[in-house]
Amino acid sequence: MSTMPDFDFALGEAADMIRDTTARFAADKIAPIAAKIDAEDWFPIELWPQMGALGLHGITVGEEDGGLGLGYLEHVIAMEEVSRASASLGLSYGAHSNLCVNQLRRWGNAHQKAKYLPGLISGEHVGSLAMSEVAAGSDVVSMKLKASEVAGGYRLNGTKFWITNSAYAETLIVYAKTGEGSGGITAFIIEKDMPGFSIGQKIQKMGMRGSPTAELVFNDCFVPAENIMGPLNGGVGVLMSGLDYERAVLAAGPLGIMQACLDVVLPYVRERKQFGSPIGSFQMVQAKVADMYVALNSARAYVYAVARACDAGKTTRFDAAGAILLASENAVKCSLEAIQALGGAGYTTDWPVERFLRDAKLYDIGAGTNEIRRFLIARELIGAR
d(CA 4, CA 258): 13
d(CA 232, CA 331): 39
Burial 153-164 (b: 16+ CB within 10 A, else e): bbbbbbbbbbbb
Reference 372, options 306, 330, 328, 313; nearest CA is 328
Check 246, 329, 337, 354 and give the catalytic one. Answer: 246
Q: What is the dihedral of CA 359, 365, 367, 373, to 10 degrees?
A: 130
* Helix, strand, coil % over all residues of the chain, rounded to 5: 60, 15, 25
Neighbouring-strand partners of residue 219: 157
Reference 327, options 301, 346, 291, 353; nearest CA is 301
> Running DSSP on this structure, what letter comes out for residue 45?
T
- Locate all alpha helices (DSSP H) within 145-282, ordered by sequence: 235-250, 252-271
Compute CA distances 252 → 91, 207, 278, whole Å. Answer: 10, 17, 32
> Running DSSP on this structure, what letter comes out for residue 206?
S
Q: Is 58 helix (H, G, I), strand (E, B) or coil?
A: helix
d(CA 285, CA 337): 9
- Phi, psi dihedrals of residue 352, rounded to the nearest 5°: -80, -5
246 is catalytic: yes
- Catalogue the active-site residues: 246
